[in-house]
Chains A and B, each alone.
Chain A
Amino acid sequence: MTAIATRQPVATAGRVRLADAVRMEWLKLKTLRSSRWLALITVAGVIGIGLAVLTYYPGHYAHMNAASKASFDPTNQGFTGMVLGQLTAGIAGVLMMTSEFSSGSIRATLAAVPRRRMLLAAKALVLAVTVLLIGEVTGLITFLIGQYVVLQSVPVHASLAQAAPLRAVLMIGAYLPLMALLGLGLGAMIRHTAGAISALVGLVFALTTIFAVLPASILHAYGRYLPMVIAENSLSAVKPDPYSLSPWAGFLLLCGYVAAALLGAAWLSRRDA
């Protein structure tokens, strides 16, 4: 070889670490219009649907029998909008991964951070923290406005000064990041937007709908393990449901589902990209 201008060798100090990958993923999430839309739909949907339900209830409450009045849970009713929120949060998680494959940006991403489990961890961290913040703030706003509305015409309402409603508000807020992480795990395993969203809808909605038409004995025995049932009857419930898991048992089971999805994604991460 002839003599050539030799370049300075690159700095050998340090290396790409999880914190670097986290900064990248945060910037990527922040610079997409679709993330802001999903956040907006989630917040507006959860608050709006909750308000609509609580505005309707007072008129209804007057005609309830004593048993229904006794089981009326104003905290839980205000979170009906989580039916929508769990979907938009889950889709945000799916897209965080599948949009990389559909657009081809995965090649640029893996060129920058070739360690795939580190990349998955970075995405999970950014997603979890962002959606947790959105979930908790949305939960608190939904609760506070909701109880104000309820108080206008019904003698029963809940307050954050009570332990059970406070726990319910914080737990249902954490339901959104759990669903987002479930979506991320499914997206990482399936790698196609349509397939991963179908799997998410299947796990969250379709299973619940199928259980609803099965004999009551089956529903009562196994329905409690469904994510949506956990959200409605365990996490956000102040008055316990006899056929449902306790709030903490439900929360831990959901964490288990999420861990399974993310472990599956980590296990499959070495496939050709």
Chain B
Amino acid sequence: MIEARGLTKRYGPVAAVDNLSFRVLPGRVTGFLGQNGSGKSTTMRLIMGLDRPDAGRATIGGRSYRDLRWPLREVGAVLDARAFHPGRTAYGHLAALAVSNQIPRRRVEEVLSQVGLADVAGRRAGKFSLGMAQRLSIAAALLGDPGVLLLDEPLNGLDPDGIRWIRGLVRSLAGQGRAVLLSSHLISELAQTAEHLVVIAHGQLLADTGLAELTSGGQSLEQAFFDLTEVGA
């Protein structure tokens, strides 16, 4: 489970994330919805410990990310498609990550097949298309078979086949009892994939509720989102 409590991050006078509290529970896909620049990526970076919050705390299973025993076996994250050295092969990138968390080497081959990169495992990742880079990042996230997944705009750069694949993957990961936080600015995508939604604008929480509740008035998620953001603005 991911828990954010009073999470705040300021850049100068601007609060990118402003006193944000929510939970991501296991066994379901939690959609993280907000406009570009609303603070989704910053929140993910705070959860991962890449940035330090000015106030509040984010924990995973009760611990800060930096206090996890075997981070890759507990959390898988796709924060940005290109999170690898362009000169290293896909296999080399994953093998180095695996060894750091004592993950068996066979997992590297398994996740490469799972994301459809087995044939290009020996190619330098810098030559990859955006879609392939995205698949490599997903492979890295799945490497340690983690119970928590953070996926920041994982659909970027994927073709229709890829988008359908991610949709199925994300649902099955949640179905296996994992906690999945899936951010997107694509409302229609989250309407199809997420069961629960955390909606933010200007770094503040607007809604933390089930998809069904949000659209209970018979309106579309898109309409519900704009109703929320206009009230919040």
A-side residues, CB < 8 A to B, are 1-2, 4-7, 9-12, 14-16, 20-21, 23-24, 27-28, 31-34, 99-100, 103-108, 110-115, 270, 272-273
Contacts and interface: CB of A to CB of B under 8 A. Distances in A.
B82 A103 contact: yes
Contacts of A27: 92, 95-96, 99
B225 interface: no
Given A1-B27, A5-B175, A272-B51, A104 B80 contact: yes
A99 B92 CA distance: 16
B74 interface: yes
A111 B98 CA distance: 11
Contacts of B176: 5, 7
B68 to A, nearest CB: 7
List the 6 closest A-B pairs by CB distance, nearest first: A4-B27, A24-B100, A31-B92, A15-B69, A272-B51, A114-B66
Contacts of A9: 147
Given A112-B72, A114-B66, 16 more contacts: A11-B73, A15-B69, A20-B100, A24-B97, A24-B99, A28-B85, A31-B89, A32-B88, A34-B87, A110-B49, A113-B100, A114-B49, A114-B71, A270-B52, A272-B45, A272-B50
Contacts of A14: 69-70, 102
- Contact-residue size bin, chain B (C-beta under 8 Å from the other chain): 35 or more
B135 interface: no
Nearest to B150: A111
A33 B101 contact: no
Contact of A105 (B51, B84, B95): B84
A193 to B, nearest CB: 13
Contact of A7 (B48, B69, B137, B177): B177
Nearest to A107: B83
